[in-house]
Amino acid sequence: MTVNDTAPVRTGPLAGVKVVEIVGIGPGPFAAMLLADLGADVIRVDRPGGNALQLVAPQHDVLARGRRSVALDLKSPKGVEVLLELVEQADILIEGFRPGVAERLGFGPDVALARNAALVYGRMTGWGQDGPLAQTAGHDVNYISIAGALDPMGRRAEPAFPQNLLGDFGGGSLYLVTGVLAALTHARTTGEGQVVDAAIVDGAAHLMSMAVSMQQGGIWDGRRGTNLLGGAAPFYDVYATSDGRHVSVGPLEPQFYADFAERLGVELPSRDDLSQWRELRAVLTARFAEKTQAEWAEIFDGSDACVAPVLPLTEAYEHPHNVARGTYVDHEGLVQPAPAPRFSATPATLTIPPAAVGTHTRDALTDWGVSDVDALLAEGVAVQRED
C-alpha cells in the first residue's frame, strides 16, 4: 500500500474536527470509524507492533477505515511527547485503557487538558472509571450480563447472546460518540474541555429503558420469553420456512395484523385472547412451514404486514432495498456498510481504506505539525510502514 501524500478531503458534518484515537479493540475503533465517517480528521495512534487481538487482516478491517495510521512507541517519553503535540491540536482524544493506565503512561486527562484546555477526553471502558469491577478484565458478554440486558434475551431455556452489537457497539461506541460530541459542543461554547467516562455497562443499562419501564409498570415480570417484544407474542417472532430458512413477523398494530392475516391465507385464532396464543403460534408455525422463504417474501413484498426474510449477511448486501439505498457499498475492493446516518447538506463519504499499522506515520505527523518527524523515525519513536 502506498502512503497518502495529502490528507483526504472530508465532506461530512464533522469536517474540521480533529480527533486522536489511541487504538484499542472493539468499541473504541468503531467510535473512531463513525467520527471519521462523519468527516472528522482522525489520527489512529497504533502500537508499532500492531494489536495482538487483530481478528482480520488489516485490509479487511472495516473498523479501521477512514483514518490514517501513525505508529508511535507510547512507552517512550519521546513517543508520549509526540502524542501530546497531537493533543495540543485535537478537539477530541479517545482511549480505551483500563483506568489509570493512561495516567501511568503520561498522557492522562490532567496532563492532556493542561496542554489543551478545550480538549474532550473520551474514555471507553467496559466497567467505567470507578466501581468495584473497574480494574477487572471483561468483555461485551460480561458487561451486558451485569447491566441486566442479557438475561431477558432468547427463549425461556437460556439467554441468547446478540454478538457484540448490544454491548460493545450499542452501549459502548454509540454512547462514547454521543458523549464526546455533546462535550465538544460545550467546549466550543465555553472553551472548557472535560472527561467523558463511557462505560459499556452504563450504556447497555440505558438501552434497557423501555424494558425497565415495562417491568416497573407491571406489564412484564422480567422473565425471559414473556416480554411482548421478546418472544412472548406469536405475532412478533421468527418462523421457519419449508427450505429451512426463516422469516421475521412483527405486525403489532391492528391494521398491519389485518393485512398480515389476509396475505397469510389461513384462519387465525384470536390474538386478543392470551389463552389462544399457544394455538396461534402453532398455526403460524405450520403455515410458514408450507412455503419457502422466497415464496413468503414475494407474498408479503410491498405490504404493511411487517414480514421480512431473515437474511444472512452476504445476501443482505444484495437485497433490493439495501442496493437502492446504497446501504452496503464496495469501496476500494472491500464490501462494507455505508456511513450512517445521512445528511442533506453535508453528506458523509468514505475516504481512506483500512490500512496496516504505520502506513501514514510520516504524512500524518507532518500534516499535524509535529516537528522533526524524520528524527523520530530514525530513532524508532515513530515507525513508517514502507511497503
- Which residues does the annotation mark as catalytic? 139, 168
Q: What residues are paired with 307 via a beta bridge?
A: 249
Give the separation between CA 209 and CA 170, rounded to whole angstroms: 14
Torsion over CA of 377, 383, 119 and 166, rounded to 10 degrees? 180
Q: Which three cell numbers stand for residue 91?
A: 478537539
Give the separation between CA 175 and CA 9, rounded to whole angstroms: 27
Give the separation between CA 278 and CA 96, rounded to whole angstroms: 47
Whether omega for the bond prior to residue 29 falls within 30 degrees of 0, making it cis, is no
Residue 254: alpha-carbon gap to chain centroid: 34
| Crossing angle (nearest 10°) for helices 174-190 and 27-37 | 60
Q: DSSP secondary structure string, 153-186?
A: SSSSSS----TTIIIIIIIIIHHHHHHHHHHHHH
> Cβ–Cβ contacts within 10 Å for residue 59, how many?
14
Q: What is the DSSP letter of 229?
A: I
Query: Which stretches does DSSP call E strand in 90-155?
Result: 92-95, 120-125
Identify the burial level of 333 via C-beta atoms within 10 angstroms of its C-beta, where 0-12 means exposed, 13-18 middle and 19 or more buried.
exposed
Q: What residues are paired with 262 via a beta bridge?
A: none
